[in-house]
Structure 1
């Protein structure tokens, strides 16, 4: 008998086509409660969620993210917010001034905790039969999202996730990954294994697309280079500064 948790994780896929059915209120509450149990650094709980069900607001978020249909057609959108406003209130109650948001460590803490929260949300949703996709595109125009969601200083919308009932006739195949030996390295980082893994995966991914009759997708190397040859969300730094984040310790 297989392990259902391992089976779910091994078959994780980004669901971009939804049936139009509704996520039940009870299921959504369960997903949110389960995700809230995710760990956070020093138990600071410096993550908040903005849960959007209003369809016009979801469409606006889709526009902010670059016109993503997978967002516009989701039943629920959850924005994961780095929230040092909460911890500022805690520091104030203790009679001290919060400093962490002015440091590189603060950004690291917020990003790590947001990533953990994203995984917790998605695993919980998928365990109940829903489909999800991580949406980093909300950082394309972060100031617009800050204003739309009414986010105060000390917060930043880092990533989001869709939640919806999958259209089972349009489920994507599970996408392969780089070779395990170039991903999980024992004792020390192995740059030669990483480089070899990139070459092998470039071929593997191309073959995976071809097996599905899709010939116009870029290779792994070309796709990655297309994003990482430039700063593709160039306003993030400015909006972080407006929201009260800095790197005073640099």
Structure 2
């Protein structure tokens, strides 16, 4: 099997890291370079990558989000943010309008660019024999984190990435049945039994941190109203109009 494909197929999320292991500057630079080489719409590169080494900042993050102590205990924590500030500067330079708040497409574009850059960082991390965990829950405290990092308008935190040397071996997690995810020449519906079969697969997999069926976990999650703090912050950062 191609080495790159093997790395991707063996992806695992790690949450326990050796606190004494220090990522070398060379390793960090390799990860950041790979991240910046990710696909991007029109070569717009509409993201910013904030490397957070400062222990005091990381402690504040964990205080806000105690369920993710790895943000402090990993070798490094990196924040990935959708960034339309750069193109706003370009608009000012050319003295043209910048009506990005009038529709969702610019925001979707920037978030997509950001996610692609982060995925490249994950793959590069694993290629180096290290581990990582994506932290989407930073959006729970999106305003506070943005203030700590002095993020300007038109910049939106999307997710963080803890990187380090794993201390606990993890298994490769089963994914949904292919027919529920892969479609050819159009969307094909599938029987709910496929989801029930996946529930059984995940029960057998028996990851300790999972206390509910996969389907019940997301039924419960999406039965709650979305995080209103994100909506308010998106508008405050001038991505969308009120």
For the superposition of Structure 1 and Structure 2, which TM-score range results when normalised by the shorter chain? over 0.9
Residue 224 in 1 paired to residue 218 in 2? yes
TM-score by length of 2: 0.93
Residue 144 in 1 paired to residue 144 in 2? yes
**Range moving further from structure 2, 152-161 or 53-62:** 53-62
Structure 1 outlier segments of 4+, above 6 Å: none
Alignment of 1:228-247 (within 5 A): 228-246=222-240
Tell me the SS of whatever aligns to 1:48: strand
Report what 1:19 is aligned to: 18
Tell me the SS of whatever aligns to 2:190: helix
The gaps in structure 1 that reach 5 residues or longer are: none
Write the distance in 2 (CA, Å) between the matches of 1:150 and 1:65: 19
Write the distance in 1 (CA, Å) between the matches of 2:51 and 2:147: 15
Write the distance in 1 (CA, Å) between the matches of 2:124 and 2:69: 23
- Aligned equivalent of 2:180, options 161, 179, 182: 182
Give the count of matched residue pairs: 241
Report what 1:106 is aligned to: 106
Write the distance in 2 (CA, Å) between the matches of 1:215 and 1:241: 35
For the Cα contact (< 8 Å) 2:235–2:241, is it kept in 1? Answer: no
Write the distance in 2 (CA, Å) between the matches of 1:200 and 1:121: 32
For the Cα contact (< 8 Å) 2:71–2:162, is it kept in 1? Answer: yes
1:172-207 Cα distance to aligned partner (Å, 9 max, x none) = 2111011112211112212225x3321211111111
The gaps in structure 2 that reach 5 residues or longer are: none
**Offset of residue 216 of structure 1:** 6.7
Report what 1:32 is aligned to: 32
Could you say what the CA RMSD is over the residues aligned between the two structures, in angstroms?
1.8
**Offset of residue 226 of structure 1:** 2.4
For the Cα contact (< 8 Å) 1:51–1:76, is it kept in 2? Answer: yes
TM-score by length of 1: 0.90
Tell me the SS of whatever aligns to 1:17: coil
Alignment of 1:80-159 (within 5 A): 80-159=80-159
Write the distance in 2 (CA, Å) between the matches of 1:202 and 1:179: 11
TM-aligned CA distance change 1:66 to 1:146, over 3 Å: same
